């Protein structure tokens, strides 16, 4: 996943670190950093879709992720997120051909729940959005795929 450097997103202080897990066979039942058990927790994720394409859009998806409270790391599985984002794209921006997306932060749960029944403008959403502190990359190789002389 490319790390983009957009301007500061959202009005809330930066919060959480984020991992987008591209490995289908890795379900992250333990935290890759501290190795404690993770647990499922629902986060409204603020997602930028379409890269630099002029018809880019932002989506907020309520998604149950794996969470490590000690490290404050939110982990989402790419294979679960992809179809949800594609569904949104087909509705919001069917002409958008750039399917890149970047999960940028979280929206306050309470505000997000309210927005489901009372749609909110972009400014209001950003008032309740916190950008991630960092995006972490998983360095994972399935057992047996690497040799001892590799690091």
Interface with Zn ion (CB under 5 A): 31, 33-34, 68, 70-71
Contact by Cβ (8 Å): 107, 128 = yes
DSSP assignment string, the chain: -----PSP--SBPP--EEEEE--TT---SB-TTT-PBPEEEEEEEEEEESTT-TT-EEEEEEEEEEEETTTTEEEEEHHHHHHHHHHHHHHH-TT-----EEEEEEE-HHHHHHHHHS---HHHHHHTEEE-SEEE------TTSS-TT--
Rounded least distance, CB 38 to Zn ion, Å = 7
The residue among 31 and 49 lying less far from Zn ion, judged by its C-beta, is 31
Rounded least distance, CB 26 to Zn ion, Å = 15
Please give the residue whose beta carbon sits closest to Zn ion in the complex: 31
The residue among 68 and 74 lying less far from Zn ion, judged by its C-beta, is 68
Give the Å distances, CA to CA, from 66 to 41, 50, 77.
6, 25, 9
The residue among 75 and 126 lying less far from Zn ion, judged by its C-beta, is 75
Rounded least distance, CB 74 to Zn ion, Å = 11
The residue among 33 and 113 lying less far from Zn ion, judged by its C-beta, is 33
The residue among 33 and 42 lying less far from Zn ion, judged by its C-beta, is 33
Rounded least distance, CB 112 to Zn ion, Å = 24
Rounded least distance, CB 30 to Zn ion, Å = 8
């Amino acid at each position: 996943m490319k790390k983009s450097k957009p301007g500061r997103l959202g009005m809330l202080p930066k919060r959480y670190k984020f991992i987008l897990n591209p490995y289908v066979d890795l379900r992250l039942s333990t935290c890759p950093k501290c190795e404690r058990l993770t647990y499922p927790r629902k986060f409204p994720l603020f997602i930028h879709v379409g890269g630099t394409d002029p018809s880019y859009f932002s989506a907020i998806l309520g998604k149950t992720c794996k969470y490590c409270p000690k490290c404050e790391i939110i982990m989402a599985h790419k294979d679960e997120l992809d179809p949800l984002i594609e569904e949104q794209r087909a509705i919001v921006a069917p002409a958008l051909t750039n399917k890149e997306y970047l999960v940028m932060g979280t929206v306050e749960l309470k505000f997000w729940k309210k927005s489901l029944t009372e749609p909110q403008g972009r400014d209001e959403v950003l008032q309740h959005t916190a950008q991630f502190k960092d995006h972490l990359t998983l360095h994972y190789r399935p057992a047996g795929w690497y040799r001892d002389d590799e690091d």
